Amino acid sequence: MSAAAPSALTPVAARRIQSELRDFTRNPPDGCRLETFEPITTWIIHMDGPEATPGMPNLYEGEKFRLQVKFTERYPLEPPEVVFVPPHTPAHPHVYSNGHICLDILYDGQNGGWSPALTINKVCLSLRSMLASNTEKARPPGDADYCSRVGMRSPKYTRWVFEDDRV
Amino acid sequence: MADSASGSAVAAAVADGAAAAAAAAAEAAAVAEEVRAVAAAADAEAGGPGVFSGERLDDMTNIDIVREEEAKKPYVGDKETLESLMQDYRAYPVFVAKIRSLASRYGGIRRVRSDGNCFFRATAFGLLEWLLVNEADSECQNFLRTLEACKDRMVGAGFDPLVFEDALDMLAGMVNAICVGASVPGQGADASTLLANFRDDTVSNMVVMLLRFITSAEIQARQDHFAPFVLGVADTDVQTFCRRFVEPMAEESDHVHAQALCDALRVPITVVYLDSHERSGVGGGAGGSTECEVHRFEPSDEGAGSIAAAAAGDGGGGAGTGRGRPSVHLLYRPGHYDISYPKLIA
């Protein structure tokens, strides 16, 4: 659960991140583009809001978000820390204004759904689909309170409760 | 609030247990069971259907507390006699009687850290130790072929090769080192190398991770076969089960995981159940039977390992000839697996 410590990557973690970097650069997920990976343990990814689909309200088309991914030294045994970079974070019932995301696959431990079978590529696909399936732009209840309370703390220290993971 | 109150009660119980001269494992098991019940109740309260997703305010769950205690122990312990197990339970006559009855067939145990990965870690260690101790070069080659078949299954189940390749190379490397050790004394892996690998955070957990993927791939490759069993334990479809209860680290295992891994690796897994349950009516004794129940998982012909063996012209079981086939023996206490050592029968 520790925050990213770039200097202490295990050789396994370093190789895995290199492989993912190569894969992400060659086959980026739809609407995503790697902006920086300096140091290699901190990626910034550009994510376009998903296009409107028939039968769904058009909520995010044309919006642009930035995602920050920080790898820990025990990656992939531990999940990366993934947040939207404020101030422009998607208005979504599972995204706090500070960029923290309430999505089970981003966390381990009790209730968590992270598994080392996931990749950043798959995480981005899940986030895009989380946005695409939303029907109303709204922040989670208690958003302002949560943001002022956690400050700059990693979302990994928050005890999340997840509802239906299809949302 | 109720949750955090019971949390501190459990913390005290765990700390006392650790301080006691002889750790009362039976009590620890009872605490762990209670902890699970408390946590499940808290989850049901907090995360039931239709409840808002968001932040939970308690800082540390009971499971975390138990696991923090466990994290002070090695992933895989030293070999111990059944006598040490008996000491843990000396205040519990049913356990003592059951352990005594085990002693006719089992010579010892090796404790594995209770972190949710014990089934996979114990099975992996048990299998590699078998290969090492029996100097079974041909079985090492069989196992390497099995790993290739498992690789195909993982690709078929949609795993990105980059998530398993390093771990697969690492495990294959360990098996090769065992082969070298078997034919060239002084080189390759010996018992201390194997133990050091399984006590190393990265190596040990990469092996666990790989076996989780192999298990998931086996279940998905034969989902018509496994779907009814999955429904029985988790009330979900096969994909969701694998994604949520097989692939993530620290998710506990049950008989679905055990059967699938046994099938994939083509290795029988014998599990002896040690619990406080007395089977009445069996044996006709006054106190009921004090024999432990035993469950033996036998590999299916449909498993990845059997398919690999058939392709290599080794369709038969081969049991009873030479040094026999690899097998894994585990001791199960509610919620936890350790490695057990059957006595050699001449």
Q: Domain holding A78: CATH number?
A: 3.10.110.10
**What is the per-residue pLDDT for A130?**
96
pLDDT of A7 reads: 58
CA torsion sign, A19 to B168 to B256 to B106?
negative
Using a CB-CB cut-off of 8 Å, the residues of chain B touching A113 are: 243-244, 248
In a domain, A68, yes or no: yes
Mean pLDDT over A18-23 rounds to 97
Q: Take residue B130 and report the two structure tokens written for it.
A: 């078998």
Interface predicted TM-score (ipTM): 0.91
A102 tagged catalytic: yes
Largest CA distance in chain B: 63
Does the structure show a pLDDT above 50 at A6? no
Asked if the structure places residue A156 within a domain, the reply is no
* All structural domains of chain B with their residue ranges: 1-72, 73-342
Whether residue A161 lies inside any domain: the answer is no
DSSP assigned state of B242: I
Domain B73-342 sits in CATH at 1.20.1300.20
Mean pLDDT, range A116-127, rounded to an integer? 98
At residue B50, the pLDDT reads: 33
SS3 readout for chain A: CCCCCHHHCCHHHHHHHHHHHHHHHHCCCCCEEEEECCCCCEEEEEEECCCCCCCCCCCCCCCEEEEEEECCCCCCCCCCEEEECCCCCCCECCECCCCCECCHHHCCCCCCCCCCCCCHHHHHHHHHHHHHCCCCCCCCCCHHHHHHHHCCCCHHHCEEECCCCCC
- Give me the domain span that covers residue A50: 6-150
Domain membership flag for residue A39: yes
The domain tally of chain A equals 1
Q: Please indicate, yes or no, if residue A165 is contained in any of the structural domains.
A: no
Q: How far is CA B185 from the centre of its chain?
A: 31
More confident residue, B281 or A121: A121
The answer to whether B61 contacts A110, with C-beta atoms less than 8 Å apart, is yes
Closest CA in chain B for residue A1: B64
- Number of A to B CB contacts under 8 A, please give it: 104
Question: pLDDT below 50 — which residues of chain B?
Answer: 1-52, 282-286, 318-322, 346
Task: Provide the token pair at A100.
Answer: 């923290």
Does residue A86 lie within any of the structural domains?
yes
- Which of the residue ranges A4-13, A72-81, B58-67 has the most confident prediction, judged by mean pLDDT? A72-81
**Do B96 and B292 touch, CB atoms closer than 8 A?**
no
Contact B163 A12 (CB under 8 A): no
Check residue B312 and give its pLDDT.
87
Distance from CA of A114 to the nearest CA of B (A): 6
